[in-house]
Amino acid sequence: MSDGKSDTGDWVYSDTVKDHFLNPRNFLMGDESKFDYDAVGLVGNPICGDQMKMYIKVKDGKIFDLRWKTYGCASAIASTSALSELAKGKTLDEALQISAKDIDNYLGNLPKHKFHCSILGHDALRDAINNYRSNKK
């Protein structure tokens, strides 16, 4: 089922997941030096081999903008796209409160065996926020 289809060939993802996978929001295309970011987070998931980088721009204590790159499956891409939409405009602490379940609900539920993919973006965002905070000291 790694291609998003069940054993019967049916698409197992919601239309929202499909939309965020095919049209990812805030995905960083090309060279990251072209995005004026304040901090970056990098995480990997040994369960599925996905890796993600999250770049954040902070203004007045809020996530003004963010971009991301990933080597991941449809669930990881859709989840991070959704997270990027949910996190924009939030304070750093508010963004950290966005849970994997919030992302899953926003997307209309991932298949149970793909729920772990919703955690990857959150971990990358947490790493970027921690990086930002440690550089501001």
Catalytic (active-site) positions: 48, 117
> Rounded to an integer, what distance in angstroms lies between the CA atom of residue 34 and that of residue 6?
39
56: left (phi over 0), alpha (psi -120 to 50) or beta: beta
| Sequential DSSP letters for 29-65 | -S-GGGS--SEEEEEEETTTTEEEEEEEEEETTEEEE
Tokens 């991301």 sit at which residue? 68
